[in-house]
Amino acid sequence: MDLIHTLLFGNAHWGGGVAHSIMVLALVIALGIMLGKITVKGVSLGVTGILFVGIASSHFGITMHPELLHFVKELGLILFVFSIGLQVGPGFFSSFKKGGATLNGLAVLIVLLGVATTVAIHLITGTSITTMVGVMSGAVTNTPGLGAAQQAFSDINNGANAPEIASGYAVAYPLGVIGAILVMMLLKPLLKINIAQEEKKGKGDDNEKDTATRHVSVEVNNVAVDGFSVGEFHKIATQPFVISRIKHKGSNDQEMVNAETILHVGDIVNIVASPKDVTALVTMLGNETQMDWYATSGNMISRRLIITKSELNGRQLSSLHIRNTCNVTITRINRAGIDFVASGNVKLQMGDRVTVVGSEIDVAQAERLFGNSPKRLDHPNLIPIFVGIALGVLLGSISFNLPGVPQPVKLGLAGGPLIVAILIGCYGPKYKLVTYTTISANLMLREIGISLFMAGVGLGAGETFVPTIINGGYMWVGYGAAITIIPLLIAGIVGYKLLKVNFLTLLGVMSGSSTNPPALAFANQQTDTDLTAVGYATVYPLAMFMRVLCAQLLILIFA
């Protein structure tokens, strides 16, 4: 019994040492995850259960040495935000293209309205800005924002902590999850939404179109292109496309296509292109027709191969001369679950899945070129992770001045690693840096990081949590509800009525701008399409970045 008491409560020697710290952390995280899995009417605390168990543990005297606690919390935060950055990095800048600009503009509006609501409550009620930033982070279920606020407060107060930030977060978090779902439920009758009609309209949404490829068989009957080579046709067609196979007029066999293949009237070709480009390409060649390429394929097969050779990472597809070296055609590339046309200027990345067409012997040769060894991807590339973390800490430690901000601004241990991870994820392959991690590896890194961070925050806030709530902290629930509901309600009406955003896409945007996975889960239940997921993925990276930055700026400006 004395041993267990020492491991849980420590002893006179600064809390019992390493064994005591590991024991407390392990129990808080394990019990917190169990608590987070309890579901009430479809809503659960998730990883935030660790925060509440940590608060309870600290309240009853089970805690850790402050310096160890601080280290665990910051390490967890870095691992968490870095893994998020690696995940969203490849699509971060492309999310601003075309319709993504409108969706991201709407996400920025939601973030800024939340900040404005937070500041208004601070000025009207006199509640400290540190508390309100914690409430704001909880209201939008944004843990990196919580970490950024704590880091900013510590920087300007010589390492001091502000437990009210964590307390505000913990109080506002549950209603933050529920509030976003309530707004979605309210907007449906308020805007008189018909889900079936929205799904029908969504089929023509460019945002959805850009995330897929389409195969179409075309009979060449445009005499203007008769006698053109495929290479010449590529020069006059501005759209990216691939002609994978051709069946010449009068022949029963299909052939592989290269730049020298000549097109004749009566030929039938198989085109792979983005859905929005198909109509234009068909018009230029002739007319769409029906053709079962597999029934007449002869010895030709189509197979997906995985790029697992590190020397191909960052290589431009055209530089491989795949048609000459392997006698196969690459029709499309799948990256992070999204298909796109295999244009020559595409830079390959580890983990890409390329669809090749050719004879079985030639496809086997292409397989040797690309690697196609999934086991290689199971081995994590740790060098980019730790080098990236080091660069992120360095970037986060650099001070710079912003107009109107009395204190120098730092990106901190949340913002610095997040930005470096986004840049590495986006541009790393261009500089031969292998940034690929499996989904399971990334998720493991993220979950360990957020678990350590939540446990650290809870253990540090527990002593003051209950007295704070008793002495008026219950009002923070209402403040958090206002920060959750007001921005989403306004943005929902503006997005649907003024910007004409599809309602299902809008639900994804609202979930992504609130960085709220439970809200996304609810939105996905409203439809069988992927419109909500597309909206969420489009705005999530920018919304996450802005949440982190705004939390810091509020502390630096008002604290």
Evaluate whether 188 touches 196 at the Cβ level (below 8 Å).
no
Rounded Cα distance, 526 and 181, in Å: 12
Evaluate whether 128 touches 164 at the Cβ level (below 8 Å).
yes
What pLDDT score does 41 carry? Answer: 65
pLDDT digits (tens, 9 = 90+) for 398-434: 877 767 666 666 667 767 887 888 888 777 777 767 7
Length of the chain: 559
Neighbours of 372 (CB within 10 A): 20
Q: Is the pLDDT of residue 13 over 50?
A: no
**Residue-averaged pLDDT of the chain:** 79
pLDDT digits (tens, 9 = 90+) for 124-141: 998 889 889 989 988 887
What pLDDT score does 521 carry? Answer: 62
For 132, phi then psi, to 5°, come to -65, -35
Question: Would you state the torsion angle of the CA atoms of residues 414, 417, 422, 425, taken in this order, to the nearest 10 degrees?
Answer: -140
Longest Cα pair distance anywhere in the chain, in angstroms? 93
Residue 249 or residue 31, greater confidence: 31
What's the pTM? 0.64
- Mean pLDDT value of segment 527-548: 76
pLDDT digits (tens, 9 = 90+) for 131-182: 899 899 888 877 777 777 877 787 777 767 777 787 788 778 767 767 887 8
Question: Would you state the torsion angle of the CA atoms of residues 508, 513, 519, 521, taken in this order, to the nearest 10 degrees?
Answer: 50
8-12, 300-304, 342-346, 508-512: the lowest-pLDDT one: 8-12
Helix (H) or strand (E) holding 329: strand 329-335
What pLDDT score does 530 carry? Answer: 64
- Give the tokens for residue 174: 């549950």
pLDDT digits (tens, 9 = 90+) for 472-517: 767 888 898 899 999 999 999 999 989 888 888 888 889 888 877 6
- Give the tokens for residue 44: 């659960």
pLDDT digits (tens, 9 = 90+) for 20-50: 788 888 899 999 888 888 877 666 667 778 8
Question: Distances from the Cα of 64 to the Cαs of 61, 105, 238, in angstroms?
Answer: 9, 43, 63
Q: Is the pLDDT of residue 92 over 60?
A: yes
pLDDT digits (tens, 9 = 90+) for 384-407: 888 889 998 898 888 777 676 666
What pLDDT score does 98 carry? Answer: 54
